């Protein structure tokens, strides 16, 4: 769904105000780096500014009209002077950048401008990065580049120095919750999804994903048996957790859900009801929150964050989870 300038302004006000000033003062840079988490509107805003450059009847001097021939073709992905590069498999290959350069050595087919958008710019191979660098060093007049990334540290410093960097802020959870409810998610489920992802499309998929629904039940069950005895918790790991959470990404999701349970317990203790995310488990969690201390919860959350780091560092997932379960039960067992 195409978002208008005003809709995107609500998501990224600082970025849009800076771009508006550039348009009004006719000072659009030849290369932008949009840095931010997935789902923060990087690609949408790159295409929005592109439409502003090509629009035949700008509104207020900077907003695309969304109805002229150029706006419609950019929205439909078939404007001859707008090129979008996506990773081919796991990386952006040097051939893709060379093809882009060949395309941009020609004059604009229909206009003075040519725009290219490179999604996941951090996935460029070394040779692709070097090839792009030459392109950035000698830009053609009227050419504008948008490099989009979630991993800015993976880009060559020489590329960074030739781009104007704009940082996209994560969406405020309340805004994400509002968007989710507007898209049919129940108010009881929206807060949890808003904590797990900044990407509306991903959240909507999770909402109807049977694997994710089952994942929540297993995580709640693991938390409940943790309170009983180490043996039962380890049995739950073998019988439920390891059968369901198989891939590294799935295990990270499970740890995120477990962390959110402990956060909810802390929020209940602090009387911050508006921040709870496991709404449907509220009454049960309220009882458990009375049986532990804030200090204990803080230690347990640190243990989960440590487990997430170990998993990222490729520790054996089974060993990592067994160690975590024992750590979560250390001390005075939730008292």
Q: What is the CATH number of the domain that holds 111?
A: 3.40.50.300
Nearest Cα residue to 213 out of 158, 275, 150, 280: 280
In terms of domains, do 134 and 263 share one? no
In terms of domains, do 126 and 12 share one? yes
Within a domain: residue 248? yes
Within a domain: residue 196? no
Within a domain: residue 186? no
Q: How confident is the model at residue 333 (pLDDT cuts 50, 70, 90)?
A: very low
Considering 168, 193, 226, which residue would you say is the last residue of a domain? 168
Position with higher pLDDT, 112 vs 322? 322
In terms of domains, do 89 and 224 share one? no
In terms of domains, do 220 and 312 share one? yes
The H-or-E segment that residue 160 falls in is helix 157-160
In terms of domains, do 304 and 223 share one? yes
pLDDT at 110 over 80: no
DSSP code string of 45-72: HHHHHHHHHH-SS-BTTTB--S-SHHHH
In terms of domains, do 161 and 217 share one? no
For residue 218, how far is the Cα from the chain centroid?
25
pLDDT in tens, 304-327: 999 999 998 999 999 999 999 999
Within a domain: residue 176? no
Number of domain units in the chain: 2
Interval 291-306 mean pLDDT? 94
In terms of domains, do 235 and 99 share one? no
In terms of domains, do 144 and 46 share one? yes
Q: How confident is the model at residue 335 (pLDDT cuts 50, 70, 90)?
A: very low
| Dihedral angle over CA of 311, 313, 318, 320, nearest 10 | -70
Provide the residue range defining the domain that includes 247.
209-329
In terms of domains, do 107 and 217 share one? no
In terms of domains, do 236 and 322 share one? yes
Q: Are 125 and 93 in contact (CB under 8 A)?
A: yes
Within a domain: residue 225? yes
Residue 289: count other Cβ atoms within 10 Å of its Cβ: 17
Considering 119, 150, 168, which residue would you say is the last residue of a domain? 168
In terms of domains, do 217 and 71 share one? no
Q: What is the CATH number of the domain that holds 240?
A: 1.20.272.10
pLDDT at 21 over 90: yes
Whole-angstrom distance, CA of residue 17 vs CA of residue 222: 47
Q: Are 97 and 132 in contact (CB under 8 A)?
A: yes
Within a domain: residue 48? yes
In terms of domains, do 223 and 158 share one? no
Nearest Cα residue to 121 out of 144, 94, 81, 87: 87
pLDDT at 332 over 50: no
Considering 112, 142, 168, which residue would you say is the last residue of a domain? 168
Residue 3: count other Cβ atoms within 10 Å of its Cβ: 15
pLDDT at 61 over 70: yes
Within a domain: residue 98? yes
Nearest Cα residue to 44 out of 150, 148, 135: 148
């Amino acid at each position: 769904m195409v978002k208008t300038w005003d809709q995107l302004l609500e998501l990224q006000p600082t970025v849009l105000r800076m771009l508006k000033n550039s348009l009004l003062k006719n000072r659009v840079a030849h290369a932008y780096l949009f840095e931010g988490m997935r789902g923060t509107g990087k690609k949408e805003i790159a295409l929005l500014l592109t439409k502003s450059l090509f629009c035949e009847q700008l509104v207020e001097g900077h907003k695309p009209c969304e109805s002229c021939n150029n706006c419609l073709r950019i929205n439909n992905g078939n404007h001859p002077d707008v090129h979008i590069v996506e990773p081919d498999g796991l990386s952006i290959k040097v051939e893709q950048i060379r093809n882009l350069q060949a395309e941009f050595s020609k004059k604009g087919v229909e206009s003075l401008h040519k725009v290219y958008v490179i999604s996941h710019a951090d996935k460029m191979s070394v040779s692709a990065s070097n090839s792009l660098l030459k392109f950035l060093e000698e830009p053609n007049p009227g050419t504008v580049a948008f490099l989009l990334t979630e991993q800015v540290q993976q880009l060559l410093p020489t590329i960074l120095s030739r781009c104007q960097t704009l940082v996209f802020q994560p969406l405020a959870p309340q805004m994400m919750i509002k968007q989710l409810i507007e898209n049919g998610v129940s108010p009881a489920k929206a807060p949890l999804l808003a904590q797990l992802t900044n990407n509306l499309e991903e959240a909507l998929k999770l909402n109807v994903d049977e694997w994710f629904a089952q994942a929540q039940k297993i995580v709640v069950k693991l938390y409940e048996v943790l309170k009983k005895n180490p043996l039962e918790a380890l049995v739950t790991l073998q019988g439920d957790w390891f059968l369901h959470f198989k891939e590294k990404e799935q295990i990270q999701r499970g740890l995120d859900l477990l962390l959110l349970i402990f956060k909810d317990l802390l929020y209940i203790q602090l009387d911050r009801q508006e921040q709870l995310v496991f709404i449907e488990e509220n009454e049960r969690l309220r009882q458990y929150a009375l049986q532990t201390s804030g200090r204990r919860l803080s230690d347990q959350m640190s243990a989960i964050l440590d487990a997430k780091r170990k998993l990222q560092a490729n520790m054996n997932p089974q060993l990592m989870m067994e160690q975590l379960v024992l750590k979560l039960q250390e001390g005075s067992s939730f008292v």
